[in-house]
Amino acid sequence: MRRALLFVVTILFSVTVFLLPAAQMHKGADVKPQADCQPDLRALCERIDRGIRLVKDARVQAGSTQLYSSLKQSLRPVLDRIREELCDNSSAQGKVDELIKKLNSLRFVPGQANFANNRILAQLEDGLKELAGSKCDNRAAKS
């Protein structure tokens, strides 16, 4: 009986201490800006420009597993940092989330045309240019 009671108390404590605060933090993350949100517009625009360059460099006739793996490893941290800089704009963060999904959808299939991946890369580039246009004084038009 004691063991069962101790087990129940341990489970309740774990749920209260670990799971509930995490769920509450996640629930509120999409609703309001972070309290310590101080976007750095210059850094944001530099990261967007870097992302555009990475995507442009990956648009080639023939893709490879190595090419897309390298792009994912290079571009994902850039997109994550862009998302952090957009801490005061949940709509723009949603657009970055869409770009991350597109990045994750890149797949190399030997023997098939690279058209589908280049279309995804074009969508990534367009999405980054759209962010640049809305946040960086329309510098996307120069690219």
Q: Residues of 46-69 as b/e, b for ≥16 C-beta within 10 angstroms?
A: bbbbbbbebbeebeeeebeeebbe
Closest CA to 114 of 70, 53, 52, 58: 58
Q: Which pLDDT score, from 0 to 100, does residue 62 have?
A: 76
Q: Would the pTM count as exceeding 0.75?
A: no
Q: Which pLDDT score, from 0 to 100, does residue 1 have?
A: 60
Q: Which pLDDT score, from 0 to 100, does residue 37 have?
A: 82
Task: Report d(CA 88, CA 1) in Å as an integer.
Answer: 52
The domain ranges of the chain are 39-142
Mean pLDDT of successive 10-residue segments in the chain (143 residues)? 50 45 42 67 94 91 84 95 92 95 88 81 96 75 44
CA torsion 25→30→36→39, rounded to 10°? 150
Residue matched to tokens 């963060």: 93
